[in-house]
């Protein structure tokens, strides 16, 4: 499913006469985020990009912590929710695919989400929808937050690993295919008497099929959830 990406961030320069407001600050922060990353993002650099003094930002955004909340809220708003007419298992799979795709679209997105507590409207709304989906599927109230965290953390971890592999390739100035070949050669040359399984699985270990692997992991989680609900006779 293709995410309905907004066109808010397509303009890199706005006319100077446009009044400064929170929306412009967040848009500019997102542009800079994809250029320089979260570590280098600062209120000063946002102000420089907007052509204003840093102090003028604080009238609209209290500090970087609030900025991170606003970034989370803006990104969360773009998450496309699955069709509610689908079976709950298919909805969870589609949710995972959509969430992964959304996080991939923003540099350091996982770090942004993990840097703040979920308190903004759009982020809370997405959590509410996921909780409701799990409740409708028949989960006990106590277990709904746990299951939700398992799903969220799986997507976060997967996207982080994808980004790390891409970063390794960029740092070495090689393509993903070239990096894969390097790792595969290293693994296949391990002494088989000590690492028989690793050498046998080298081709699968070093040349991941990200899409299939992600679906497999989501399927494992969903199958486990299904077994739990079935064992309790609560599956809807």
Segments forming the whole domain that contains residue 147: 82-231
Q: Is residue 120 part of a domain?
A: yes
Q: Is 224 among the domain residues?
A: yes
Give the residue ranges of DSSP H helices in 172-235: 176-188, 196-200, 202-206, 210-231
Taking the C-alpha atoms of residue 112 and residue 33, their distance in angstroms, rounded to an integer, is 10
Residues 116, 63: contact at Cβ < 8 Å?
Answer: no
Q: Pick the residue with more confidence: 115 or 9?
A: 115
Q: Which helix (H) or strand (E) element contains residue 163?
A: helix 144-171
What's the total number of domains in the chain?
1
pLDDT of residue 206: 79
5: pLDDT strictly greater than 90: no
Predicted structure pTM score: 0.86
Helices (H), ranges, 4-143: 22-36, 43-50, 54-57, 64-77, 88-104, 109-114, 121-137
Helix, strand or coil, per DSSP, at residue 6 = coil
Cβ contacts of residue 58 below 8 Å, gap of 6+? 43
For residue 157, what are the CA distances in angstroms to 10, 163, 207, 216? 29, 10, 18, 14
Residue 118 included in any domain: yes
Whether residue 145 lies inside any domain: the answer is: yes
Residue 62 lies inside a defined structural domain of this protein: no
Structural contact between residues 96 and 90, judged by C-beta atoms closer than 8 angstroms: no
Q: Is 161 helix (H, G, I), strand (E, B) or coil?
A: helix
Does residue 49 belong to any structural domain of this protein? no
Token output for 197: 């399984």
25 within some domain: no
Q: Residue 69: phi, psi to the nearest 5?
A: -60, -45
Instruction: Kindly state whether residue 215 falls inside one of the protein's structural domains.
Output: yes
Is the pLDDT score of 12 beyond 70?
no
How do residues 150-184 score in pLDDT, each as one tens digit? 999 999 999 999 999 888 888 888 888 888 888 88
Whole-number percent of the chain with pLDDT over 70: 92
In this structure, what CATH number is given to the domain that contains residue 194? 1.10.357.10
Assess whether pLDDT exceeds 90 at residue 66: yes
């Amino acid at each position: 499913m293709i995410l309905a990406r907004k066109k808010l961030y397509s303009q890199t320069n706005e006319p100077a006469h446009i009044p400064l407001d929170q929306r412009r600050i967040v848009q500019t922060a997102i542009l800079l985020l994809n250029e320089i990353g979260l570590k280098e993002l600062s209120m000063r650099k946002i102000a420089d990009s907007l052509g204003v003094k840093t102090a003028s930002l604080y009238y609209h955004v209290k500090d970087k912590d609030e900025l991170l909340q606003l970034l989370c809220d803006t990104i969360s708003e773009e998450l496309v929710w699955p069709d509610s007419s689908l079976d709950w298992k298919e909805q969870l799979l589609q949710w995972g695919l959509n969430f992964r795709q959304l996080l991939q679209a923003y540099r350091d997105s996982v770090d942004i989400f993990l840097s703040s507590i979920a308190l903004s409207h759009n982020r809370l709304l997405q959590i509410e929808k996921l909780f409701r989906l799990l409740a409708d599927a028949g989960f006990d109230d106590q277990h709904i937050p746990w299951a939700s965290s398992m799903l969220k953390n799986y997507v976060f971890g997967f996207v982080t690993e994808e980004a790390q592999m891409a970063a390794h390739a960029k740092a070495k100035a090689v393509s993903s295919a070239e990096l894969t070949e390097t790792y595969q050669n290293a693994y296949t040359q391990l002494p088989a008497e000590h690492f028989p399984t690793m050498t046998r699985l080298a081709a699968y270990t070093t040349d991941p099929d990200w899409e299939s692997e992600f679906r497999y992991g989501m399927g494992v989680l969903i199958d486990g959830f299904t077994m739990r609900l079935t064992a309790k006779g609560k599956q809807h």
